[in-house]
Amino acid sequence: MIQRLPNIWLSSHGTPGQEQFARNLETYLGEKQSPPSIVDQEGPALLYIAAGVLFNNEHSSRPKLTSNTTNDTAIVSWGKRFKIYKDRLTKITSFVREYTPDVDVFTAPRDPIHGIGNQIFYAPPTIPLHLGNKSERIEDTHRREAEVLNMHDWLHDVEEDWSLPFVWSISKLTVGQKRVWIDPNAVELHVKRQIADTRANILLNLRCNAKLDRIRSCPYSRTCCTDYGTKPISQLGFVFLGSIHLAACVICEVLDICGSSSKLRQNLFDMKVGFLILALLMCYYADRTQIMAKGSKLRSPIEFITLCVPCIAVALITIRRSPSPPRDLTATTKAAGQPFLSRYQTDEWKGWMQFFILIYH
């Protein structure tokens, strides 16, 4: 089970999310002191903490931050906000250091399946990216960038002495990425929900897949965070027989191209049937395995239009008049069998529509 607890750093004391985080942290540290068996573990396999960027907000209505402010707009100095940020993070790492064994994870004995065991990580704040053109927002973004860099410098200084591993690569995932922020033209404070989830899933997949790899290595029939269930014998049988028949169709097609034709091969192993089986196999692998899994999509109209324009250009360049029907047909046959669009037109239309559908998805 994956739990997401937002805004626990700035929430008031006693809120459900904050209490839940405290319970998970205490359970994690308790099991680090006296590791139970794997079956009896109740703590989280991975604690991923991402916090810090909200301390770049110089306007605050919280009493602890706004006391002794110099004006009525409640602008809190960076020195005060930076001190509170360091105090919060220091308390977390002191708590972790006090209740976890002081061992080097790279040299300590490892469980043959679970490796170094459950871990806790902290992701440093990300440098914001502003895309607007308002001078006051640009100036505010420069201020935030400087404050985040101050945080990074301080974290680099204390990293070696702390028991809280930092995941610097997480904060680098969105550097220079224009479409990952909720409002890049205004606040540029938070990344989109799916980006935040992807950051956490990177660590979770590394943790889980390493464990699964120790249990059973390649070939994989599963991935972490993706449960495709048990595949029935009927599905596996269809995949096996379909793969054999498709391979036979390909071989027979090659033989026909080389001049060795056979009526039996043309009837049983025609590539028209092979294409149908290929489509069914592709649907199976796309829906039931990770081989053709789709990634999370970020809507980008500009990229969609950019890819569609070449397709439209090629379609316009290659337009040809449909061939005329044979002249030996009678007028009655022409009137009865004349569709609204010719077969050539409908086939070409369906072909170009497939291009646009693939681009969209």
Give the domain extent around 351: 299-361
Asked if residue 239 is part of any domain, the answer here is no
What is the arithmetic mean of pLDDT over 190-212?
Answer: 77
pLDDT class of 63 with cuts at 50, 70, 90: very low
Number of domains present in the structure of the chain? 2
Same domain, 314 and 185: no
> Is 2 inside any structural domain?
no
- The winner for highest mean pLDDT among 6-10, 95-99, 265-269, 272-276 is 272-276
Question: How is residue 23 written in tokens?
Answer: 């319970």
pLDDT at 250 over 80: yes
How many CB atoms neighbour CB 260 within 10 A? 10
Query: Do 192 and 55 share a domain, yes or no?
Result: yes
CB-CB contact of 54 with 190 (8 Å): no
DSSP-assigned letter for residue 276: H
pLDDT reported for residue 61 = 44
The answer to whether residues 120 and 51 touch, using CB atoms and an 8 Å cutoff, is no
Tell me whether residue 257 is in a domain: no
CATH number, domain at 172? 3.40.50
266, part of any domain:
no
Residue 225: inside a domain: no
Q: Which of 183, 199, 215 finishes a domain?
A: 215
Mean pLDDT of 4-10: 63
Question: Amino acid identity of 102?
Answer: D
Residue 252 lies in a domain: no
The answer to whether position 222 is within a domain reads no
The whole-angstrom separation of Cα 263 and Cα 25 is 71
Tokens 């139970």 belong to residue: 36
pLDDT digits (tens, 9 = 90+) for 13-30: 567 777 788 888 888 888
Residues 318-358: pLDDT tens digits?
Answer: 877 766 666 665 555 555 555 666 777 788 888 888 888 87
- Contact between residue 296 and residue 194 where contact means Cβ atoms under 8 Å apart: yes
Backbone angles phi, psi at 46, to 5 degrees: -155, 130
Tokens of 304: 């969609």
Question: Cα-atom radius of gyration of the chain, to the nearest Å?
Answer: 30
- Cβ-Cβ contacts under 8 Å for 320 (sequence gap 6 or more): none
- Give the mean model confidence (pLDDT) for residues 288-312: 73
Give yes or no for residue 244 having a pLDDT over 90: yes
Q: To the nearest whole number, what is the mean pLDDT of the chain?
A: 76
Q: Residues 201, 318: one domain?
A: no
Q: Percentage of the chain with pLDDT > 70?
A: 71
d(CA 58, CA 66): 10
> What's the one-letter identity of residue 24?
N
Verdict on whether the full-model pTM lies above 0.85: no
**Mean pLDDT throughout 77-93?**
89
Q: What pLDDT was estimated at residue 264?
A: 60
- Residues 271 and 278: their CA atoms lie apart, in Å, by 10
Q: What pLDDT score was predicted for residue 357?
A: 82
More confident residue, 110 or 156: 156
Q: What secondary structure letter does DSSP report for 295? A: P
In a domain, residue 25? The reply is yes
How much is the pLDDT for 230? 63
Strand runs (DSSP E) across 9-125, as ranges? 46-50, 119-123
Q: Give the pLDDT of residue 75.
A: 81
Last residue of some domain: 157, 185, 215?
Answer: 215
Q: Which of 215, 241, 262 delimits the end of a domain? A: 215
Looking at the structure, tell me whether residues 108 and 201 fall in a common domain.
Answer: yes
Looking at the structure, tell me whether residues 198 and 304 fall in a common domain.
Answer: no
List the one residue out of 5, 11, 94, 86 whose CA is nearest residue 50. 5
Q: Quick one: pLDDT at residue 72?
A: 45
| Mean pLDDT, rounded, for 280-290 | 77
Q: Are both 178 and 320 inside the same structural domain?
A: no
Q: Containing H/E element for 196?
A: helix 193-215
Indicate whether 308 and 202 sit together in one domain. Answer: no
Contact 24, 43 (CB under 8 A): yes
210 & 303 share domain: no
pLDDT exceeds 50 at position 160: yes
H helix or E strand, kind and range, residue 215: helix 193-215
Q: What integer pLDDT is reported at residue 65 of this predicted model?
A: 46
